[in-house]
Amino acid sequence: MNRRLFLRSLGLMAGSLYIPDRFLLRAERYMDREGVPFFKTFRKPRMTVSADEWGILHIGDPCAGPAYIPTWREYLVEYLGHEPGELTPAFLYDERGIDPSELDDVMAEDVYIDGYWLRNESSTASAYHFLQAYEHEIGPDLCGPDGEIVGELTFCDGPMIGNDSLLATCEGDVALTCLQWRLQKLGANCNFELLR
């Protein structure tokens, strides 16, 4: 598990990505007054990031399943990068447990979801990959000893045994506001919404 903390600025790190006190105070007052996080709405956002009630982040429809399920041949060649000549009966049966006569059959949906979709195409994987590209820029490189933690972004690869999902989480409404602010400062203007 990898975490990035959002730290409150104490005026020590001008020009850094610490959350400015003025912005944080505005976000906290808005939350107290309106009961919802302070999110900026961009007219042309790069994408929309959604947060569910557990703080799990999504890009795309969290209720949608795979749009397409490939055949075994497509999966092995196009998704996993095997050469067509590698798909010998010995490789298929001994290495993968696939009957060679099933090579052009559509994969079972649960096998595709567990083997590929959860880590590459699901709404949680999309959010994980997008945010991980900014991982080093999102968190401050230097943390002053007086910095107050106001939230954290956590990356989780396989939350439990038997579950290979990729998850990025950001719990707390103020923390979500800080995450949007950080992304904006990095040039990734994203709209945020709650799924509650």
Q: Do 36 and 60 fall within a single domain?
A: yes
**Rounded distance, CA 188 to CA 51, Å?**
17
Q: Do 29 and 101 fall within a single domain?
A: no
Residue 170 lies in a domain: yes
User: How many Cβ atoms are within 10 Å of 131's Cβ, its own excluded?
Assistant: 22
From first to last of its 196 residues, what are the pLDDT tens digits of the chain? 555 555 544 333 334 456 777 888 888 899 899 989 999 999 999 999 999 999 999 999 999 999 999 999 999 999 989 999 989 888 888 878 888 899 999 999 999 998 899 999 999 999 999 999 887 777 643 222 345 677 788 888 877 777 788 999 988 888 898 889 889 988 999 999 999 7
Residue 116 lies in a domain: no
Q: Do 47 and 81 fall within a single domain?
A: no
Q: Do 134 and 173 fall within a single domain?
A: yes
187 three-state secondary structure: coil
Q: Which domain holds residue 15?
A: 2-64+123-195
Q: How many domains, the chain? A: 2
